[in-house]
Amino acid sequence: MAMAGIVIAVFAAAPGHAQITAFKQAVAEAAADDADIAAFYRETGYQPIWTAPDDASRARRAELLRAIRTAASHGLPVARYDPAGLMARLGTVRSARDRGLAEVEMSKVFLTYARDVQTGVLTPKRIDSRIVREVPYRDRGAYLSGIAVSKPAAFFRALPPRSMEYNALLKEKMLMEQLMASGGWGPRVPESKLERGATGPAVIALRNRLIAMDYLDRTNGRTFDQAMLDAVKQFQLDHGLNDDGVVGGETLKQINVDVETRLQSVLVALERERWFNTERGKRHILVNLPDFTAKVIDDGVVTFETRAVVGANRDDRPTPEFSDEMDHMVINPSWYVPRSIVTKEYLPALRRNRNAASHIIITDSRGRRVNRNAVNFSRYTARNFPYSMRQPPSRSNALGLVKFMFPNKYNIYLHDTPAKNLFARDVRAFSHGCVRLADPFDFAYTLLARQSDDPEGDFQRILRTGAETRVNIEQPVPVHIIYRTAVTNARGHTEYRADIYGRDAKIWNALANAGVVLGGVQG
């Protein structure tokens, strides 16, 4: 804080009219390229909030310098705020004009840090076109007016997300940094398939890695025994895998992930949590794409959970990330085939055989059924095909027997499916983008329980009619489709998932380019 003392000494003399004018002019010039800063100083009569010699300004300076020096603790790029450069700049102030320039520079650094720590360093859509989450940006002028009237330490403490998840990720970040500094989890397990009863070097490598990861107590055992089996199963559960106790495929891949990669996941999750720094709803639905789950959360507690299938990782099928509000479900739904599927999948088949996809009804622009035999499909292309396609309600319907709607421009919703076998897979990315649920009826009962004395009975009565029926959700429920490869469980432990769409890799690269580094050691 020696430099802060120098600044105070320079500004201690009572300013004259010329000094005030020079200060104001310098502030106006320096703020000319930032409308928010310029407006703030105009509205406050060009009063300084950082560079005055009073105790309040001294406290603001001290807290800003502390925050930007320790920005790495939040996974932020310290070099972006250049604390050493800012201190050097303050140390060279010798005139009222210098002070005005320094005043605006501190406000610019402050606004950059405040927005970064509260709502993220990156702009999601620039990283991946399917990260369409609306970031809850705060008004920049409100940051300045807020720090001007608040206790600085309390103001800075309140900037980062206040969620339990964010705090848990900060703790995991510290743990991963300590592990990285001490050498990580040791050698990788050689490529092989290991199960109970196995012996050899690969089993010893597996044993050592499980011990280092705190899944297995210290032992000199050289056989894949019951204790190792239990440890493997717990690892599988913690990483969203089928707990069959066999080490191979996806389990082996996840066991061999190094500490540095896990730390990257945590840093990316912190950035994602900043993007998601908003009220989520006392009751809300959370779909985590890499976790392949959908959950109902009431007052922070998971009250329902089911496995999910999400969009395939190809073409335009990956499921986007966004939030909306579920306001109704449709029991016995028709499937109105999306135009992209009609033209890319069904039209080529119809051109080869007009009776292809015979379970689908072809309709004209007025919804009337079209006689396939009267249509020459070979004359149509994806551009000029004039018809729509619909699959009527049935147990074989692509949407199953119920769909859950939160109307959005991406045409994404949750629904049942006749393809139940896919829920047994470790990696469940197979859909055209919508989210399929393993237990859609129980999901419906959970939603209806707040508006019905007999949710199961009411649902089943409508289902038995076979008629397409809309049922409104009287208290609409926020739906958040997120993408987290580092997630906190109910015990407060961090679990990890595979980066199924490669989005986290893109985000990490962008964070690294912005100046974020592993291990917290930054310039």
pTM for this structure?
0.91
CA-based end-to-end distance of the chain: 19
Contact 102, 29 (CB under 8 A): no
The reported pLDDT for the residue numbered 160 is 98
d(CA 427, CA 440): 19
b/e code 170-180 from CB counts within 10 Å (16+ = b)? bebbeebbebb
- Which of 94, 85, 99 minimizes the C-alpha distance to 30? 99
Strand-pair category, 486-488 with 494-496: antiparallel
pLDDT at 265: 97
Residues of the chain with pLDDT under 50: 1-14, 521-523
Task: Round the average pLDDT of the chain to a whole number and report it.
Answer: 93
Rounded alpha-carbon distances, angstroms, from residue 347 to 243, 316, 363, 379, 382: 42, 18, 13, 11, 8
> What is the structure's pLDDT at 333?
97
Q: Give me the percent of the chain exceeding a pLDDT of 90.
A: 90
- pLDDT of 509 reads 98
